[in-house]
Amino acid sequence: MNLLRHARYVLSENPVTGLAFGLFALLLVAALFGPILAPYNPLQSDAAMALKPPSAAHWFGTDQLGRDIFSRVLVATRLDLSIAFASVILAFLLGALSGVAAGYFGGWTDRVVGRLADTIMAFPLFVLAMGIVAALGNKVINIVIATAIINFPLYARVARAEANVRRDAGFIEAARLSGNGEARVVLGHVLPNIMPIMMVQMSLTMGYAILNAAGLSFIGLGVRPPDAEWGIMVAEGANFIQSGEWWIALFPGAALMLAVFCFNLLGDGLRDIIDPRKRT
Protein backbone atom coordinates (compact mmCIF):
# COMPACT_ATOMS: atom_id res chain seq x y z
CA MET A 1 0.00 0.00 0.00
CA ASN A 2 2.87 2.39 0.76
CA LEU A 3 4.29 1.78 -2.74
CA LEU A 4 0.91 2.51 -4.36
CA ARG A 5 0.51 5.65 -2.29
CA HIS A 6 4.01 6.79 -3.26
CA ALA A 7 3.27 6.02 -6.93
CA ARG A 8 0.15 8.19 -6.80
CA TYR A 9 2.19 10.95 -5.20
CA VAL A 10 4.90 10.79 -7.88
CA LEU A 11 2.36 10.79 -10.72
CA SER A 12 0.40 13.70 -9.23
CA GLU A 13 3.47 15.81 -8.45
CA ASN A 14 5.35 15.14 -11.70
CA PRO A 15 3.19 15.80 -14.79
CA VAL A 16 5.98 14.61 -17.12
CA THR A 17 5.95 11.19 -15.45
CA GLY A 18 2.16 11.14 -15.66
CA LEU A 19 2.45 11.97 -19.37
CA ALA A 20 4.87 9.04 -19.83
CA PHE A 21 2.49 6.59 -18.17
CA GLY A 22 -0.38 8.00 -20.23
CA LEU A 23 1.58 7.49 -23.46
CA PHE A 24 2.46 3.97 -22.32
CA ALA A 25 -1.23 3.19 -21.76
CA LEU A 26 -2.01 4.59 -25.22
CA LEU A 27 0.69 2.42 -26.80
CA LEU A 28 -0.66 -0.66 -25.03
CA VAL A 29 -4.19 0.05 -26.30
CA ALA A 30 -2.87 0.52 -29.83
CA ALA A 31 -0.83 -2.69 -29.62
CA LEU A 32 -3.67 -4.79 -28.21
CA PHE A 33 -6.58 -3.41 -30.21
CA GLY A 34 -4.89 -1.78 -33.21
CA PRO A 35 -6.18 -4.25 -35.83
CA ILE A 36 -9.72 -3.79 -34.46
CA LEU A 37 -9.52 0.01 -34.26
CA ALA A 38 -7.89 0.49 -37.68
CA PRO A 39 -10.46 2.04 -40.06
CA TYR A 40 -8.92 0.36 -43.13
CA ASN A 41 -7.09 -2.83 -43.96
CA PRO A 42 -3.41 -1.86 -43.55
CA LEU A 43 -2.35 -4.17 -46.41
CA GLN A 44 -5.08 -3.27 -48.90
CA SER A 45 -3.87 -1.07 -51.76
CA ASP A 46 -5.96 1.29 -53.85
CA ALA A 47 -4.19 2.85 -56.85
CA ALA A 48 -6.88 5.51 -57.22
CA MET A 49 -6.13 6.82 -53.69
CA ALA A 50 -2.32 6.78 -53.95
CA LEU A 51 -0.36 9.68 -52.37
CA LYS A 52 -3.40 11.50 -50.99
CA PRO A 53 -2.61 14.10 -48.28
CA PRO A 54 -4.19 13.93 -44.81
CA SER A 55 -7.95 14.41 -44.92
CA ALA A 56 -11.11 13.53 -43.04
CA ALA A 57 -11.25 10.17 -44.82
CA HIS A 58 -7.55 9.39 -44.30
CA TRP A 59 -6.26 11.18 -41.20
CA PHE A 60 -2.58 10.52 -41.98
CA GLY A 61 -2.98 10.41 -45.76
CA THR A 62 -2.16 7.47 -48.02
CA ASP A 63 1.11 6.03 -49.31
CA GLN A 64 2.30 5.27 -52.84
CA LEU A 65 0.08 2.19 -53.01
CA GLY A 66 -3.01 3.92 -51.67
CA ARG A 67 -2.83 2.26 -48.24
CA ASP A 68 -4.14 4.21 -45.27
CA ILE A 69 -1.15 5.40 -43.24
CA PHE A 70 -3.10 5.85 -40.00
CA SER A 71 -4.19 2.20 -40.11
CA ARG A 72 -0.64 1.06 -40.85
CA VAL A 73 0.86 3.16 -38.03
CA LEU A 74 -1.77 1.83 -35.61
CA VAL A 75 -1.28 -1.82 -36.58
CA ALA A 76 2.53 -1.47 -36.61
CA THR A 77 2.48 -0.66 -32.88
CA ARG A 78 1.85 -4.31 -32.01
CA LEU A 79 4.77 -5.59 -34.08
CA ASP A 80 7.28 -2.99 -32.92
CA LEU A 81 6.37 -3.33 -29.25
CA SER A 82 6.35 -7.13 -29.49
CA ILE A 83 9.88 -7.14 -30.90
CA ALA A 84 11.05 -4.69 -28.23
CA PHE A 85 9.37 -6.52 -25.32
CA ALA A 86 10.65 -9.93 -26.45
CA SER A 87 14.22 -8.70 -26.95
CA VAL A 88 14.29 -6.86 -23.61
CA ILE A 89 12.95 -9.89 -21.72
CA LEU A 90 15.51 -12.16 -23.41
CA ALA A 91 18.33 -9.70 -22.67
CA PHE A 92 17.17 -9.49 -19.05
CA LEU A 93 17.08 -13.27 -18.62
CA LEU A 94 20.54 -13.72 -20.13
CA GLY A 95 22.18 -10.59 -18.73
CA ALA A 96 20.65 -10.47 -15.27
CA LEU A 97 21.22 -14.15 -14.45
CA SER A 98 24.80 -14.18 -15.76
CA GLY A 99 25.55 -10.81 -14.14
CA VAL A 100 24.21 -11.92 -10.75
CA ALA A 101 26.25 -15.13 -10.97
CA ALA A 102 29.38 -13.13 -11.87
CA GLY A 103 28.92 -10.66 -9.02
CA TYR A 104 27.96 -13.26 -6.43
CA PHE A 105 30.42 -16.05 -7.17
CA GLY A 106 33.29 -14.03 -8.68
CA GLY A 107 36.33 -15.99 -9.90
CA TRP A 108 36.18 -17.60 -13.31
CA THR A 109 32.43 -16.88 -13.61
CA ASP A 110 33.11 -13.18 -13.28
CA ARG A 111 35.96 -13.34 -15.79
CA VAL A 112 33.93 -15.24 -18.42
CA VAL A 113 30.89 -12.96 -18.17
CA GLY A 114 33.08 -9.86 -18.11
CA ARG A 115 35.07 -10.88 -21.19
CA LEU A 116 31.87 -11.78 -23.04
CA ALA A 117 30.36 -8.37 -22.28
CA ASP A 118 33.61 -6.62 -23.26
CA THR A 119 33.71 -8.52 -26.56
CA ILE A 120 30.17 -7.44 -27.46
CA MET A 121 30.86 -3.84 -26.44
CA ALA A 122 33.98 -3.79 -28.61
CA PHE A 123 31.78 -3.70 -31.74
CA PRO A 124 29.58 -0.80 -32.81
CA LEU A 125 26.33 -2.24 -31.49
CA PHE A 126 24.08 -1.43 -34.44
CA VAL A 127 26.69 -2.79 -36.85
CA LEU A 128 26.85 -5.96 -34.74
CA ALA A 129 23.06 -6.27 -34.90
CA MET A 130 23.24 -5.83 -38.69
CA GLY A 131 25.81 -8.62 -38.94
CA ILE A 132 23.78 -11.02 -36.79
CA VAL A 133 20.57 -10.45 -38.74
CA ALA A 134 22.41 -10.66 -42.08
CA ALA A 135 23.95 -13.98 -41.02
CA LEU A 136 20.79 -15.51 -39.56
CA GLY A 137 18.24 -14.01 -41.97
CA ASN A 138 15.89 -11.07 -41.58
CA LYS A 139 13.13 -12.76 -39.63
CA VAL A 140 11.41 -11.34 -36.57
CA ILE A 141 12.95 -13.94 -34.24
CA ASN A 142 16.43 -13.05 -35.51
CA ILE A 143 15.79 -9.34 -34.93
CA VAL A 144 14.81 -10.20 -31.35
CA ILE A 145 17.97 -12.27 -30.86
CA ALA A 146 20.24 -9.58 -32.33
CA THR A 147 18.68 -6.84 -30.20
CA ALA A 148 18.96 -9.00 -27.06
CA ILE A 149 22.63 -9.73 -27.74
CA ILE A 150 23.64 -6.08 -28.11
CA ASN A 151 21.71 -5.22 -24.90
CA PHE A 152 23.27 -8.11 -22.94
CA PRO A 153 26.27 -6.14 -21.58
CA LEU A 154 24.02 -3.43 -20.11
CA TYR A 155 22.10 -5.93 -17.98
CA ALA A 156 25.12 -8.05 -17.13
CA ARG A 157 27.14 -5.11 -15.84
CA VAL A 158 24.33 -3.60 -13.78
CA ALA A 159 23.40 -6.99 -12.28
CA ARG A 160 27.05 -7.82 -11.53
CA ALA A 161 27.63 -4.52 -9.71
CA GLU A 162 24.45 -4.84 -7.64
CA ALA A 163 25.09 -8.51 -6.75
CA ASN A 164 28.70 -7.77 -5.83
CA VAL A 165 27.52 -5.15 -3.32
CA ARG A 166 24.93 -7.45 -1.75
CA ARG A 167 26.73 -10.80 -1.58
CA ASP A 168 28.16 -10.05 1.88
CA ALA A 169 25.08 -8.27 3.23
CA GLY A 170 23.54 -9.39 6.50
CA PHE A 171 20.38 -10.85 5.01
CA ILE A 172 22.49 -12.95 2.59
CA GLU A 173 24.56 -14.31 5.49
CA ALA A 174 21.36 -15.08 7.37
CA ALA A 175 20.00 -16.96 4.36
CA ARG A 176 23.19 -19.03 4.17
CA LEU A 177 23.09 -19.81 7.89
CA SER A 178 19.47 -20.90 7.53
CA GLY A 179 20.65 -23.77 5.35
CA ASN A 180 19.80 -22.37 1.90
CA GLY A 181 21.96 -23.52 -0.97
CA GLU A 182 23.88 -21.07 -3.12
CA ALA A 183 21.41 -21.33 -6.02
CA ARG A 184 18.47 -20.58 -3.72
CA VAL A 185 20.30 -17.65 -2.16
CA VAL A 186 21.05 -16.18 -5.60
CA LEU A 187 17.57 -16.71 -7.07
CA GLY A 188 15.54 -16.20 -3.91
CA HIS A 189 17.39 -13.36 -2.20
CA VAL A 190 19.95 -11.60 -4.40
CA LEU A 191 17.96 -11.44 -7.64
CA PRO A 192 14.70 -10.11 -6.08
CA ASN A 193 16.65 -7.35 -4.33
CA ILE A 194 18.15 -6.03 -7.57
CA MET A 195 14.85 -6.19 -9.49
CA PRO A 196 13.91 -2.52 -8.94
CA ILE A 197 17.01 -1.20 -10.70
CA MET A 198 16.69 -3.90 -13.36
CA MET A 199 13.10 -2.82 -14.05
CA VAL A 200 14.32 0.72 -14.65
CA GLN A 201 17.02 -0.64 -16.96
CA MET A 202 14.40 -2.63 -18.88
CA SER A 203 12.29 0.47 -19.41
CA LEU A 204 15.26 2.51 -20.64
CA THR A 205 16.40 -0.18 -23.07
CA MET A 206 12.88 -0.59 -24.47
CA GLY A 207 13.31 2.66 -26.37
CA TYR A 208 16.65 1.55 -27.74
CA ALA A 209 15.19 -1.83 -28.75
CA ILE A 210 12.40 -0.08 -30.68
CA LEU A 211 14.95 2.16 -32.43
CA ASN A 212 17.15 -0.82 -33.25
CA ALA A 213 14.28 -2.81 -34.78
CA ALA A 214 13.12 0.21 -36.79
CA GLY A 215 16.68 0.94 -37.90
CA LEU A 216 17.19 -2.59 -39.17
CA SER A 217 13.91 -2.38 -41.09
CA PHE A 218 14.90 1.02 -42.48
CA ILE A 219 18.03 -0.39 -44.12
CA GLY A 220 16.26 -3.51 -45.36
CA LEU A 221 17.49 -6.01 -42.74
CA GLY A 222 14.42 -6.04 -40.53
CA VAL A 223 10.77 -6.83 -41.05
CA ARG A 224 9.93 -7.40 -44.70
CA PRO A 225 7.28 -5.50 -46.67
CA PRO A 226 4.33 -5.41 -46.99
CA ASP A 227 4.03 -5.84 -43.20
CA ALA A 228 3.29 -2.60 -41.38
CA GLU A 229 6.34 -1.54 -39.37
CA TRP A 230 7.47 1.95 -38.43
CA GLY A 231 11.01 1.63 -39.82
CA ILE A 232 9.77 0.29 -43.18
CA MET A 233 7.20 3.08 -43.44
CA VAL A 234 9.81 5.78 -42.75
CA ALA A 235 12.12 4.22 -45.36
CA GLU A 236 9.32 4.16 -47.94
CA GLY A 237 8.34 7.74 -47.15
CA ALA A 238 11.92 9.02 -47.43
CA ASN A 239 11.75 8.49 -51.19
CA PHE A 240 8.82 10.91 -51.49
CA ILE A 241 9.92 13.79 -49.24
CA GLN A 242 11.56 15.77 -52.05
CA SER A 243 8.46 15.46 -54.24
CA GLY A 244 6.29 16.91 -51.46
CA GLU A 245 4.58 13.84 -49.98
CA TRP A 246 5.89 14.59 -46.47
CA TRP A 247 3.15 12.75 -44.59
CA ILE A 248 4.32 9.26 -45.64
CA ALA A 249 7.45 9.48 -43.48
CA LEU A 250 6.30 12.05 -40.91
CA PHE A 251 3.57 10.12 -39.12
CA PRO A 252 5.37 6.77 -38.64
CA GLY A 253 8.48 8.73 -37.64
CA ALA A 254 6.42 10.66 -35.09
CA ALA A 255 4.99 7.41 -33.69
CA LEU A 256 8.53 6.04 -33.37
CA MET A 257 9.72 9.20 -31.63
CA LEU A 258 6.80 9.20 -29.18
CA ALA A 259 7.37 5.53 -28.29
CA VAL A 260 11.07 6.08 -27.54
CA PHE A 261 10.27 9.31 -25.67
CA CYS A 262 7.66 7.46 -23.62
CA PHE A 263 9.96 4.66 -22.47
CA ASN A 264 12.84 7.02 -21.65
CA LEU A 265 10.56 9.08 -19.41
CA LEU A 266 8.98 5.91 -18.04
CA GLY A 267 12.38 4.77 -16.78
CA ASP A 268 12.82 8.00 -14.82
CA GLY A 269 9.33 7.63 -13.37
CA LEU A 270 9.90 4.01 -12.34
CA ARG A 271 13.13 5.02 -10.63
CA ASP A 272 11.29 7.69 -8.62
CA ILE A 273 8.54 5.22 -7.69
CA ILE A 274 10.66 2.18 -6.85
CA ASP A 275 13.71 3.78 -5.19
CA PRO A 276 13.08 3.66 -1.40
CA ARG A 277 15.31 6.71 -0.90
CA LYS A 278 12.82 8.84 -2.85
CA ARG A 279 9.80 7.85 -0.80
CA THR A 280 8.34 10.49 1.45
Contact criterion met (CB below 8 Å) for 90 and 144: yes
Share of the chain above pLDDT 90, in %: 44
pLDDT band at 11 (very low <50, low <70, confident <90, very high): low
> Which DSSP string corresponds to 121-141?
HTS-HHHHHHHHHHHH-S-HH
- Domains belonging to the chain, first-starting first, are 2-46+59-278 (1.10.3720.10)
How far is the C-alpha of 49 from the C-alpha of 275, rounded, in Å?
Answer: 52
Share of the chain above pLDDT 70, in %: 91
Residue 274 has pLDDT above 80, yes or no: no
pLDDT of res. 4: 63
DSSP state of 186: I
- End-to-end Cα spacing for the chain: 13
Region 136-144: what's the mean pLDDT?
A: 90
Region 74-85: what's the mean pLDDT?
A: 93
Residue 270 has pLDDT above 80, yes or no: no
pLDDT band at 256 (very low <50, low <70, confident <90, very high): very high
> Which DSSP string corresponds to 92-118?
HHHHHHHHHHHHHH-HHHHHHHHHHHH
pLDDT of res. 2: 58
Rg (C-alpha) for the chain, rounded Å, is 22
pLDDT of res. 112: 92
pTM: 0.86
pLDDT of res. 5: 65
pLDDT band at 131 (very low <50, low <70, confident <90, very high): very high
Residue 87 has pLDDT above 90, yes or no: yes
How far is the C-alpha of 260 from the C-alpha of 280, rounded, in Å?
Answer: 29
Between the ranges 67-71, 218-222, 224-228, where is the mean pLDDT highest? 67-71
